Amino acid sequence: MYPWLPFEWIAATRFLREGRMQSLLIIVGVGVGVSVIVFMSALLSGLQSNLVRRTLSSQAHVVILPPEEVARPQRDSTLGPILQKQAQRLRSIDQWQKLRGRLAEMPEIAAVSPIASGPAFAVRGNANKSVTLIGIEPDNYNRIIALDEKMVAGRLRLNAGETVIGIELAKDLGASVGDKLRINSSNGTTDTLTITGLFDLGNKGVNARNVYVGLRSAQTLLDLVGGVSSIDLGLRDMYAADAIALRIARETGLQADSWIKTNAQFFTALTSQKISSNVIRFFIGLSVAFGIASVLVVSVVQRSKEIGILRAMGATRGQMLRTFLIQGGIVGLLGSVLGSSLAWVFLALWRALALNPDGTPMFMITVEPELFAISAAGATLVGIFSALIPARRAASLDPVVAIRG
Amino acid sequence: MAEAKFDGPVLELEDIHKSYATGSEVETEVLHGINLRLQRGEFAALIGPSGSGKSTLLNLIGLLDRPSSGRLLIDGQETGSLDDGALTRLRGRSIGFVFQHHHLIPAFTALENVMMPLLVERGRPDDEMRQRAAKLLDQVGLTAQANHQANQMSGGQQQRVAIARALTMQPSLVLADEPTGNLDTKSADSVFALMREVNVSQQTTFLIVTHDPRLAARCDRIIELVDGTIVSDHVAEVRKQEMPQQHPD
């Protein structure tokens, strides 16, 4: 008996220790539940961050575009002419420098990168490829898409007359670093550029299509001098993209597309995966709670005499209540420690066994220590919560009945 | 508990009635106006056939249950107006229980069982209560068994521990429900002798419910309850002087 422990703790630990088999079984039960939750959470967050990273490797969180051009009839009439939707031409965002300044001041936004982008042809010898010409400010763009980290040959240098292209396009054109490439834009402007680097953004289409040049070169080629066709934004919280895009659209009258909207299906898949895992977690938690509750209910029945004696000796209802709540908490905590260790083993096995055919891991799982802390706290709370019913039973036990019974 | 104890009767019952609701409308009265007084240092037996209301009366006196009407005073304190918590505290301090099945808490050792009433009152264990418990165990002759669990002791030993536990709070009144009912004659005799010794040396009042006429005959006072009424109550004056004075505190 440790002098610093209050009566309730002493009684709770003694009762648990005395009911050896019972306590052990329920702790293992809680442990299995917690291990599944921890393992699943780690796996899922690894999978999701991996998927999101791949998806966002060539996309900004939010893209701001000029508003769509709409044909307005001069006479407003229901009998008026049939309106045909206008074909969209390449336009600049009005006063984009001003807008850029304002965006940069918004605390939610981590990076702002103006872009002049449009269709063009890349010509080399007889090869003629349709490409997307993208004029960027490399430093700002890197903060959103990390192009510099994706370079596989040469390096990202976009001075006047320089370009970097994807590895697919390089293959199609038979070009490599140091070679010249002619760009014909759709309005007839032509420029010859030197390839300074090749990138691999992890997406074949993007690697075959994107041609990066300096912002100024693109402006000239696309006949957008001084203008930008879009502004890419990197956010601090990428899941807030929808809300922020909406706000920007409302405040500026421009079109703002979030990656969530652009990848609606992917995001729906992600969300439903999250929901289904939460449902599974909830039900595991529920069954753990029922397990703890049922064991403690049995324990209260088994100990009703002892509870009666303790009450006769002057133990209060509150003391009995707390004794059983503490037992629930201890079972939850010990179970979560066991469960976290089990999950750790599962994750190690997963890392060793779930490999691509070439031996590299299928995806990286990073286990945050918080996950263990959260599961321990959660299991303890679930334990205390599920002990409520048995504890209240113990507290309301009539000592007369308990002692006689 | 060195403070001056109340001088009047340890227990006072005035016209105690107790009824139970047996159906939705019907109430069965188990006790019909009990009047009883126990003075400090009395050693009384409560006898009566099964169903006479002995257990009910004992539960009322032990503050485990409340009477339907009448006044119940412990150490001169009126109990009818006390709430549940206050009743629990009064019970813890003033009344010790010894049960037929001794009811030690098996998860705790003999010493810890004896400490228990102080532990639940004070909330945390301390050296003083440990020493007091050790002294009580010594008094009941079980120092060697201090660290034994209940299942490691004989019935007689367990009952001695239970008596030590009943004395931990130095209660004014010890209620014993068939304390020797479960024991062989030899153990029963030693348990009875122990209670007697405590009674004499510490002036602790005992009320012993028993079926055993042999045991009842050795008490100073015999209260007989039949059908919820006290039918006889006599005092044997001789006995008290016979007992030797031991362990004056």
Strands (E), B48-198: 69-74, 77-78, 95-98, 173-177
Chain A positions in Cβ-Cβ contact with residue B123 (cut-off 8 Å): 6-7
Note if the pTM is more than 0.80. no
The secondary element (H helix, E strand) that includes residue A127 is strand A127-136
Predicted confidence at residue A335, as pLDDT, reads 94
Please report which confidence band the pLDDT of residue B245 belongs to, taking 50, 70 and 90 as the band edges: very low
A7·B112 Cβ contact <8 A? no
- Contact of B48 with B222, CB cutoff 8 Å: no
Distance (Å) of CA A361 to CA A46, A162, A349: 12, 37, 12
Residue A298: name the closest of A5, A3, A1, A19 by CA: A19
CA-based Rg of chain B, rounded to a whole angstrom? 18
pLDDT number for residue B5: 58
Mean pLDDT of A164-187: 90
Q: Tell me if A66 sits within 8 A of A92, measured CB to CB.
A: yes
CA A227 centroid distance within chain: 34
The confidence score (pLDDT) of residue A47 equals 84
Contacts of B51 in chain A (CB under 8 A): none
**For A301-315, what is each residue's pLDDT tens digit?**
888 888 988 888 888
The secondary structure of chain A in percent helix, strand, coil, rounded to multiples of 5, reads: 55, 20, 25
Q: Which amino acid is at A221?
A: L
How far is the C-alpha of A138 from the C-alpha of A131, rounded, in Å? Answer: 19
What are the distances in angstroms from CA B60 to CA A307, B19, B71, B74, B229?
Answer: 19, 12, 11, 11, 15
Q: Which pair of structure tokens corresponds to residue B148?
A: 């034994």
Please check whether residue A171 is in contact with residue A153, taking contact to mean a CB–CB distance below 8 angstroms.
no
pLDDT at B4: 52
What is the pLDDT confidence band of residue B194, given thresholds at 50, 70 and 90?
A: confident
Q: Mark out chain A residues that contact chain B at CB-CB < 8 A.
A: 1-7, 10-11, 14-15, 17-18, 305-306, 308-317, 319, 399-400, 403-404
The whole-angstrom separation of Cα A341 and Cα A347 is 10
B116 to A14: CB separation less than 8 angstroms, yes or no = no
Q: Which domains does chain B have, with CATH numbers?
A: 11-241 (3.40.50.300)
Q: What is the DSSP letter of A357?
A: T
Contacts of A312 in chain B (CB under 8 A): 62, 64, 91, 97
Tell me which DSSP letter residue A237 carries: S
Reported as a single tens digit per residue, the pLDDT across A36-88 is 999 888 888 888 888 887 777 778 899 999 887 777 766 666 666 666 777 77
Which residues sit opposite A156 in a β-bridge? none
Token pair belonging to A339? 């469960």
Q: What is the pLDDT of residue A77?
A: 60
In sequence order, what DSSP letters do the residues of B4-40 get, joined into one string?
PPP-S-SEEEEEEEEEEE-SSS-EEEEEEEEEEEE-T
* H or E element, residue A123: strand A109-124
Q: Give the integer Cα–Cα distance in Å for B10 and B117.
A: 20
pLDDT score recorded for residue B249 = 43
pLDDT at B247: 46
Q: Is 70 exceeded by the pLDDT of residue B181?
A: yes
Q: How many CB atoms lie within 10 A of CB A204?
A: 12
B8: phi then psi, degrees, rounded to nearest 5: -75, -165
Comparing CB atoms, the residue among B65, B103, B121 nearest residue A305 is B103
Confidence at residue B133, expressed as pLDDT on a 0 to 100 scale: 92
Is residue B192 within 8 Å of B123, Cβ to Cβ? Answer: no
Lowest mean pLDDT among A284-293, B26-35, B105-114, B232-241: B232-241
Chain B nearest C-alpha distance from A395 (Å): 12
Phi, psi (rounded to 5 degrees) for A322: -65, -35
Q: List CB contacts of A153: < 8 A, sequence separation 6 or more.
A: A167, A176, A177, A197, A198
Q: In percent, how much of chain B has pLDDT > 70?
A: 91
Contacts of A404 in chain B (CB under 8 A): 55
Per-residue pLDDT reduced to its tens digit, A284-303:
989 989 999 999 998 898 88
When pLDDT is cut at 50, 70 and 90, the band that residue A341 belongs to is: very high
Give the distance from residue B36's alpha carbon to the nearest chain A alpha carbon, in angstroms.
21
B6 pLDDT tier (thresholds 50, 70, 90): low
pLDDT in tens, A191-229: 999 999 999 988 888 899 999 999 999 999 998 888 899
Residue of B nearest to A405 (CA): B101
pLDDT greater than 70 at residue B2: no
C-alpha A366/C-alpha A373 separation (Å) is 15
Q: Which residues in chain B have their CB less than 8 angstroms from residue A327's CB?
A: none
Contact yes or no for B107 and A18 at CB 8 A: yes
Q: Which of B59, B105, B124 sits opposite A3 (nearest CB)?
A: B124
Q: What pLDDT does B178 receive?
A: 85
Instruction: With a cut of 90, say whether residue B190 has pLDDT above it.
Output: no
Q: What is the CA radius of gyration of chain A?
A: 32
Give the bridge partners for A134, in sequence order. Answer: A117, A212
Segments making up each domain of chain A, as ranges: 7-54+267-404, 96-259
> What number is the average pLDDT over the span A318-328?
94
pLDDT of residue B228: 87
